[in-house]
Amino acid sequence: MQATTTLTITAGKADPEAQKAFLAEYETLKQTKGDADPIYFMDAVHPQHNPVIAQGWIKRGEDREIRSNTGRRRVNINGAIDLKCLEPVVRFDDSINAVSTIALLQQIEQRHPDAAVIHVICDNARYYRSKAVRKHLETSRVQLLFLPPYALNLNLIERFWKYFKKIVLYNRYFESFADFKAACENFFRHPNQYRGDLRSLLTENFAIVGE
């Protein structure tokens, strides 16, 4: 029997020790935070108005046409999700910047009136580290916890975005951008129907990359 090979593509600058240190900090946070204090994972996604071809079967010798769009327009979604409730908080904005990030953080804060601190884990995107966001956090209950560089594997919302694309975009064609955007928005109107899948998907089985 021929052995199979698994190919894993990782960021060339991923630092395994920094990832381990972050996970240790994350475990400490879970053990010391207040009972009413949530932990969110935050990131943006930018699905393009074009089919995402996931898989399919074509008989040998046959040709199939796949309809496509220009792909020049996209939807900008800034979002966050906590592992306890699995209810995403999202915003559709013309662009993802400091203003849209502050608006998202305000939405998250409004959901937790009893929390002393709202912990939000995110990457090092420029808008998350912007002066305007830092100024907002001075009077906010939100605290940002930044991931190590090149460590998207530790941001669980990346799995959520992959699931979102699978449900909404894979092997689907949308004639108009309005239909495409409506399909994206509709996914977030009924989050409970996906909770079972998300419960098994968004587990804390973090993998260290770059070792």
Could you tell me which residues come within 8 angstroms of residue 138 by beta carbon, excluding any fewer than 6 positions away? Answer: none
Measured in degrees and rounded to the nearest 5, phi and psi for residue 34 equal -70, 155
pLDDT tens for each residue of the chain, 211 residues long: 444 444 444 555 889 999 999 999 999 999 999 999 999 999 999 998 877 666 555 566 565 555 556 667 899 999 999 999 999 999 999 999 999 999 999 999 999 999 999 999 999 999 999 999 999 999 999 999 999 999 999 999 999 999 999 999 887 888 889 999 999 999 999 888 999 999 999 999 999 988 7
User: What pLDDT does 181 receive?
Assistant: 94
User: What pLDDT does 1 receive?
Assistant: 45
Burial label for 70, CB within 10 Å (0-12, 13-18, 19+), is exposed
- 10 Å Cβ neighbour count for 147? 20
39 token code pair: 């932990």
Domain 38-53+69-201 bears CATH identifier 3.30.420.10: yes
User: What pLDDT does 61 receive?
Assistant: 58
User: What pLDDT does 70 receive?
Assistant: 63
> End-to-end CA distance of the chain, in Å?
29
Domain boundaries along the sequence of the chain: 38-53+69-201
- DSSP β-bridge partners for residue 121: 41, 145
Model's pTM, two decimal places?
A: 0.86
What string of DSSP letters covers 122-182?
Answer: E---TTTT-HHHHHHHTTSSEEEEEPPTT-GGG-THHHHHHHHHHHHTBT---SSHHHHHH
Strands 39-45 and 76-82: antiparallel
User: What pLDDT does 6 receive?
Assistant: 46
How many Å apart are CA 211 and CA 142, to the nearest integer? 33
Where are the strands (E) in the chain, listed by range?
39-45, 76-82, 89-93, 118-122, 142-146
